[in-house]
Amino acid sequence: MTKSWNLPPVPQNIPHGDMPGDKICISGEHIAKAGVLYPRLREEMERLGQERVVVCVCGGSGVGKSEIASVLAYYLRQAGLGTYVLSGDNYPHRIPEDNDRERVRVYREGGLKGLVAQGVMLPEFSLRLRELWQAEADCDPTNAKVDPWLALYQKAGRQTLSRYLGTPAEISFAELSNILSWFHQGADRIYLKRMGRETGCLWYDSVDFSETRVLIVEWTHGNSDYLDGVDIPILLNSTPSETLAHRRARNRDGKTDSAFTTMVLELEQEKLEAQAYKAKIILSKSGELLRYSDYRALMAGE
């Protein structure tokens, strides 16, 4: 039986992850979900019996990774367990703006090569693609109804982009795996990467881990096969429709409903589903703990 815990109130402006410029807003929903997760997390930590533990909080866009990780860290610190929250978003090879451009480039180059492989790369298709690129509409499936050949381009582009997203081609998994290894080995100080949103906004900070018992990695790709050293993966689940509804409510970038953004979210969701079997703890969007079989049934019903 899971032990119950008397959790302290969560004040405003508690420490959060180390992504430069990241602004989080912790709501009652985040606190409630962290309250559900915390007893199970402590149970898993006690089962491990390790001096130092690495936890990952992963999930799709807008599911509350940063906020829930911050609240969990607060609870752990209040229990006397030094805790640090590390943002995996510091470890792509490129700053966000450049990486967004690279994603588009990878998709379009893959689509073009797909047309070449099928022997249908006609001059008029090139002209049409330039129009679609200008309008950022080349991955909109409705356009393939007008230009049937575009379906070949979109399929090949999607497959190529999937081989880029969340892989070592996009992210420095080896660097982050080394950090987790050093932490497990008891390192007192570790240099951690900081990545801003502008060119040249990149540096390293020396962080004191001498009193840290728990390292929480909050990151979409925290449960990836490419990342070594995570002891307790926590999956914050969100079905594709729930994710899109949340992004529409936030509408931070004005391109929430763009075909490209939708495709990226779908691909990320596919990767999260493929890795979900490794999660030690799964929490639904509604705040319920799920067994893996429950998770599979929920996603199949979506």
pLDDT the model gives residue 38: 97
Using an 8 Å Cβ cutoff, are 280 and 232 in contact?
yes
Tell me the per-residue pLDDT of 182-196, one tens digit each, with 9 for 90 and over: 999 999 999 999 998
Alpha-carbon distance 38 to 69, whole Å?
10
pLDDT at position 171 over 80: yes
CB atoms within 10 A of CB 138: 24
Alpha-carbon distance 205 to 198, whole Å?
18
Average pLDDT of the chain is 92
Strands 281-283 and 289-290, by their bridges, are antiparallel
Tell me the per-residue pLDDT of 36-87, one tens digit each, with 9 for 90 and over: 999 999 999 999 999 999 999 999 988 999 999 999 999 999 999 999 999 9
Using an 8 Å Cβ cutoff, are 207 and 90 in contact?
no
Alpha-carbon distance 212 to 217, whole Å?
14
Give all domains of the chain, ordered by start, each with its CATH number.
Answer: 28-91+172-301 (3.40.50.300), 96-162 (no CATH)
CB atoms within 10 A of CB 226: 14
Strand ranges in 125-225 using DSSP code E only, listed in sequence order = 189-195, 202-208, 214-218
Indicate the length of the chain as a whole number: 302
